[in-house]
Amino acid sequence: MAKEPDYRSNSLLRGLSILECFSSDHPELTLSEIADQLSITSSAAYRFVVTLEREGYLIKRKTSYRLAPRVMDLGYRYLASQDIYDIARIPADELRSETGFTVHVSVLEGTEIVYVYRALSDRSMVSNVPVGSRLPAFSTTMGRVLLSDLPEEDLDRRFEGYVFERMSPLAPSSLDELKPILKADRERGYVAQSSHLATGTFSIAAPLVSRYGRYLGAINLSGHEMQLRPSDELIAKVRDTAQTISQML
C-alpha cells in the first residue's frame, strides 16, 4: 500500500512545539532551555523564537521569554465561537421574532469578523449574511464594536500594513481615522449606522461581554434602511439581548 503523503509543515510544528514548552511550572524559559526541550541547537531555536516574538506570541524579558497575550486570544476566540454559537441562538431567534429583522452574531479574527450565527428575517427586503462569512471589521457595525475593546497597541499590530479598501466614502480610510471612531463607539456602548458594504442596509450592534469584561463577540439587528429605524426602543432591545447573552458567557 502506498504511503500517504505527509503535507505537514515542519517549521509550523516546531513553532507550535515552542509555545507548548511553556507551562504554569515554567512560565519563563531561556533560549537554551527551549532548545534543550526540543533537542535542537540554540541557533535553530533562535530563528523560531524571534519569529514568534515579532508576531506577538512571545515576550522577551532580559534573557528569557514568556507567552504573550496573543496566545490567550487564540483560546478566547475558539471558546467564544463555540460558546457564543450555543448560547446566542435562542436569544437571537427571540430578537428576530420580536422585531422582524435579521439578527447576526460574529466574533473577531484579526482584522475581520466571522459570522457564527444568523437568525433570518422573513421580510421581503432582508439583510442576509451567511454563517462563515468574513467581512472587514472596520466597515461593519459588529466589527467596530469588537475593535473598540482592543488596546491601542493591539490595533497597531493588527492593522500594520493594512490597506483600508473603502466601499463607502463614509468609512475610515486609515487607522488614524478609525481610532477616534472606536473611542466614541466604546463610550456609546453600541454602533448604529447604514452599512458601508451593502447599500440600503442599516444595522444596530452591541457587544457580547465575558464575566471578565472582554468583548467575546457581537450581535446586530440588520434590515433595509426603509424599514429599520434606529429608535431608542430598537437600540434598547439589541443591547438587552446582548446583555442576556453576556450573562450566560
What DSSP string runs through 34-55?
HHHHHT--HHHHHHHHHHHHHT
| Domain membership flag for residue 134 | yes
Cell of 146: 469588537
Is there a single domain that holds both residue 55 and residue 154? no
Question: For residue 14, is pLDDT > 90?
Answer: no
Is there a single domain that holds both residue 79 and residue 45? no
Domain that holds residue 45: 10-67
| Domain membership flag for residue 143 | yes
**Domain boundary pick from 23, 46, 67:** 67
The residue ranking higher by pLDDT, 170 or 77, is 170
CATH assignment at residue 83 = 3.30.450.40
Is there a single domain that holds both residue 140 and residue 238? yes
Is there a single domain that holds both residue 160 and residue 210? yes
| Domain membership flag for residue 207 | yes
Is there a single domain that holds both residue 99 and residue 55? no
Q: Residue 52 corresponds to which amino acid?
A: L
**Domain boundary pick from 51, 67, 83:** 67
Is there a single domain that holds both residue 214 and residue 145? yes
Question: For residue 228, is pLDDT > 80?
Answer: yes
* 13 phi-psi bin (left φ>0, alpha ψ -120 to 50, beta other): alpha
| Domain membership flag for residue 4 | no
Is there a single domain that holds both residue 35 and residue 149? no
Q: Model confidence over 47-102: pLDDT tens digits?
A: 999 999 998 899 998 889 999 878 866 665 655 555 788 889 999 999 999 999 99
Q: Model confidence over 114-135: pLDDT tens digits?
A: 998 999 998 766 667 888 889 9
Q: Nearest to residue 244, comparing CAs of 145, 105, 137?
A: 105
Q: Is the pTM of this model over 0.75?
A: no
Is there a single domain that holds both residue 63 and residue 112? no
The lowest-confidence range among 99-108, 129-138, 196-205, 232-241 is: 196-205
Q: Nearest to residue 101, comparing CAs of 40, 197, 192?
A: 192
Q: Nearest to residue 112, comparing CAs of 88, 147, 83, 85?
A: 147
| Domain membership flag for residue 2 | no
The distance of Cα 204 from the centroid of its chain, to the nearest Å, equals 18
pLDDT at res. 200: 76
**CA 7 → CA 10, 11, 13, 18, 144, distances in Å?**
9, 12, 12, 20, 37
Is there a single domain that holds both residue 140 and residue 17? no
Total number of domains in the chain: 2
CATH assignment at residue 57 = 1.10.10.10
